[in-house]
Amino acid sequence: MPQRHVVQMSTSHATYGVCVLGTEVFLDTRRSTPKDATSFDVHATSAVTVHIIHSPMTKPMINSRWPLDPDTEVVVTIDVTSRTVNDNKVKISYYGREDNELSVAWLYLTCVDISLDVDLSRNGRVKSKGKDKAKWTWGPDGQGAVLLVNCDRDSPGAWQMDSTQVDIRTTADLQDMSVMLLRTQGPSAIFDDYQVVLHVPESDADKVRVFHAIWNDSHLQYKPVLGPDKLSYVLDHVGSGENTFYVEGLAFPDVGFSGLISFSVSLLEIHHKYSLGTPIFTDTVVFRVAPWIMTPNTQQPLEVFVCRVKPHAGLLPSTFKEEEWATQLTNCKLTICSEVETRSDRWIQDELEFGYVEAPHKTFPVVFDSPRNRGLKDFAFKKILGPDFGYVTREPPGKVACSLDSFGNLDVSPPVTVRGKEYPLGRILIGSPLPWASGRRMSKAVRDFLYAQKVQAPVEVYSEWLTVGHVDEFLTFVPAYDRKGFRLLLACPNACYTLFKEKQRQGHGEATLLVGLKGSDRRSIDDILADESLKNDNKHVQRCIDWNRDLLKQELGLSEQDIIDIPQLFILKGSRADALFPDMVNMLVLGRHLGIPKPFGPVVGGQCCLEQRVRALLEPLGLTCTFIDDYFSYHVLSGDVHCGTNVRRKPFAFKWWHMVP
């Protein structure tokens, strides 16, 4: 509840004060009431509106006077700003029992207008006089401004993010900031005895920085006025006009920080030149820091990243030339990272995840750098961070990263509706142990960050049963024209056994897996079906995948018709599983074009039966399947196509602030 503006009245001398347009001023008459007074009346000049607040039992007298009552209050408002100092007058007259006027209290008021304004309606424009500016609400009818973390690098010659700089080195940096306007109106002379102060709560100050745009010798300068080391800023030379401030975010939502940041402007009455002053009016606005948002496979691909590796030319099949890659895969931009840049680390999916941040006035991509920190550990910061391309990372304090900290263990579903609850930006999937079990787990710092973004409520699935332990080893999403607009693909040992049994019944039991691959463990269909140990391994794997299947049906609102089983076998090494042949769900999804690890399955009738089955499952959805030989470049090193690629995708058209988390 805002503090009331109270003015002490006096019958011994006139009282002078300031009020803000449209606000209430409570007149304290208790100290000024003469001892023998029994009633009073109030008169004011035309711009002043007088309100008498009284109990239901108190009634005005016949002569428009009011009986003196301890519960009666006099409140005045002014709805026109003053042209000169003290141009509004209020007169309170006190009367005795004989209706004689005992004394008079005079009040001279100067009305000013002060308003702190932001893009309250989230349409890219700053309007004045919004209602409930101190509240931030979600939904299409919600209100409240949006603030971007200034995590890109616009400044020429800089090597850090712009948010680390305490000054503005290029006007391009202003586009990453949100505008806040301070509008004031009233006689300039009145501000000799009053201060206008912009301030931020101490709890928010380390998460934001504010710059004041000031003309100096016909040039605009941007003075840092609020931030981690400064909680308040007193404005000089205040009069009728507009002051422009640029606000940059310094921190994403995280543990202990909801993302909400408030700013206030206060009008202070100065009683002494060394005093801090007393606030008589405060106006507050609230920003929410834009969350980091992941993009699912169903979003349009914009750029593909792949690392050059030896001895093969990356994962590029012999039928492709590197310069044709973008054309073959839906006209994406192709970025091939050199071995020098990657320090011979090929697993670019594990190192980073592309997302974006959005405000009504600006959207730009932001790369999330994992705490994996192998050969690619500096790649995102040194090679991707730049103008309008942001960077964020989270490092677990004092903890060595495990395999589950890699971002092959991080995915996001397409938009879903679950039991009537809409997730228009999808839900993040994190690979973890079973909820009640110990084991390897993605670091708390990363998980806390993902949960704190709010708009893609995470689901933790069971991936720790795998040797590498990543979600992309057993699931992915592909676009579809019908139903929900996508299908969930799950690796499925049962589907593979069903296919191999079918081929065995057709007389193809001698057809062999992994033919033509030097040093590979070739097995015929007959051998695979007769291997009881392998069969038991895959029964265990199937139970693990089925546990996830049920969880995802519940948490993503899926039915069996939304899921496609991709034939795949695994083999246990110790207590954890690896793919027996290239893992086909570990695919690259670029629009309706799929780059699928070539499984080198048993050849029947001149065709790989695994490829043939996958085509039959996916091509009716309008998808094109290209099988890529990644056996020696990725698979034998415990990864496949998805592990060795990464995709920057188009942001959602849906505005995150329109949802209700």
Condensed to tens digits (0 to 9), the pLDDT of residues 416-429 reads 999 999 999 999 99
Give the residue from 106, 119, 78, 418 showing the smallest Cα distance to 245. 119
- Per-residue pLDDT reduced to its tens digit, 290-314: 999 999 999 999 999 999 876 544 4
Q: Please provide the CATH number assigned to the domain covering 293-652.
A: 3.75.10.10
Average pLDDT, the chain: 92
- Per-residue pLDDT reduced to its tens digit, 210-259: 999 998 888 899 999 999 999 999 998 888 899 999 999 999 999 999 99
Q: Which of 472, 565, 583, 640 does the annotation list as catalytic?
A: 472
Please, which residues bridge with residue 285 across strands? 263
Does the model's pTM come out above 0.95? Answer: no
Cis ω before 311 (30° cut-off from 0)? yes
Q: Measure Cα distances from 371 to 128, 406, 454, 501, 642 in Å.
A: 44, 7, 21, 44, 19
Give the residue from 24, 5, 6, 17 showing the smallest Cα distance to 76. 24
119-289 is a CATH 2.60.40.1700 domain? yes
pLDDT at 318 over 50: no
Q: How far apart are the first and last CA of the chain?
A: 27
Evaluate whether 356 touches 363 at the Cβ level (below 8 Å).
yes
Question: In terms of DSSP bridges, do strands 475-479 and 523-524 run parallel, antiparallel, or are they unpaired?
Answer: unpaired
Query: If DSSP codes are grouped into helix, strand and coil, which group holds residue 65?
Result: coil
Dist. CA 380–CA 495, nearest whole Å = 39
pLDDT at 564 over 90: yes
Q: Which of 162, 350, 405, 411 does the annotation list as catalytic?
A: 350
| C-alpha Rg value of the chain to the nearest Å | 34
Question: In terms of DSSP bridges, do strands 15-20 and 101-117 run parallel, antiparallel, or are they unpaired?
Answer: parallel
- Per-residue pLDDT reduced to its tens digit, 435-487: 999 899 999 999 999 999 999 999 999 999 999 999 999 999 999 998 899 99
Per-residue model confidence (pLDDT) at position 54: 83
Q: Which two tokens stand for residue 472?
A: 């992309």
**What is the pLDDT averaged over residues 341-370?**
96
Dist. CA 456–CA 431, nearest whole Å = 15
Dist. CA 177–CA 145, nearest whole Å = 12
Dist. CA 605–CA 256, nearest whole Å = 62
- Per-residue pLDDT reduced to its tens digit, 608-648: 999 999 999 999 999 999 999 999 999 999 999 999 999 99
Matching residue, tokens 């995948």: 545
Helix axes 609-618, 493-505, angle to 10 degrees: 120
Main-chain phi, psi angles of 28, to 5 degrees: -85, 105
Dist. CA 620–CA 617, nearest whole Å = 7
> Judging by beta carbons within 10 Å of its beta carbon (0-12, 13-18, 19+), is residue 616 exposed, middle or buried?
exposed
Write out the DSSP string of 461-522.
Answer: EE-TTBSS--GGGTEEEEE-SSTTSEEEEEEEHHHHHHHHHHHHHTT-TT-EETTT-TT---
Give the residue from 206, 224, 229 showing the smallest Cα distance to 149. 206
- Per-residue pLDDT reduced to its tens digit, 32-57: 899 899 999 999 999 999 999 887 77
Strand ranges (E), 39-177: 39-44, 48-53, 66-67, 73-78, 88-95, 101-117, 145-147
Per-residue model confidence (pLDDT) at position 500: 98
Per-residue model confidence (pLDDT) at position 631: 93
Query: If DSSP codes are grouped into helix, strand and coil, which group holds residue 380?
Result: helix
Per-residue model confidence (pLDDT) at position 516: 87
- Per-residue pLDDT reduced to its tens digit, 357-375: 999 999 999 999 999 999 9
6-112 is a CATH 2.60.40.1860 domain? yes
Catalytic site includes residue 271: no
**What is the pLDDT averaged over residues 46-69?**
83
pLDDT at 317 over 50: no
In the chain, CATH 3.75.10.10 covers 293-652
Per-residue model confidence (pLDDT) at position 219: 87
Single-letter amino acid, residue 284 = T
In the chain, CATH 2.60.40.1860 covers 6-112
Catalytic site includes residue 472: yes
Catalytic site includes residue 642: no
Q: Which of 332, 492, 609, 643 does the annotation list as catalytic?
A: 643
Q: Measure Cα distances from 637 to 264, 579, 582 in Å.
A: 56, 11, 11
Q: Which of 5, 199, 212, 470 does the annotation list as catalytic?
A: 470
- Of the chain, the percentage scoring pLDDT greater than 70 comes to 95
Q: Measure Cα distances from 189 to 142, 149, 547, 564 in Å.
A: 39, 39, 74, 75
Dist. CA 597–CA 635, nearest whole Å = 9
Q: Measure Cα distances from 173 to 72, 360, 362, 593 in Å.
A: 55, 16, 11, 37
Helix axes 532-556, 493-505, angle to 10 degrees: 130
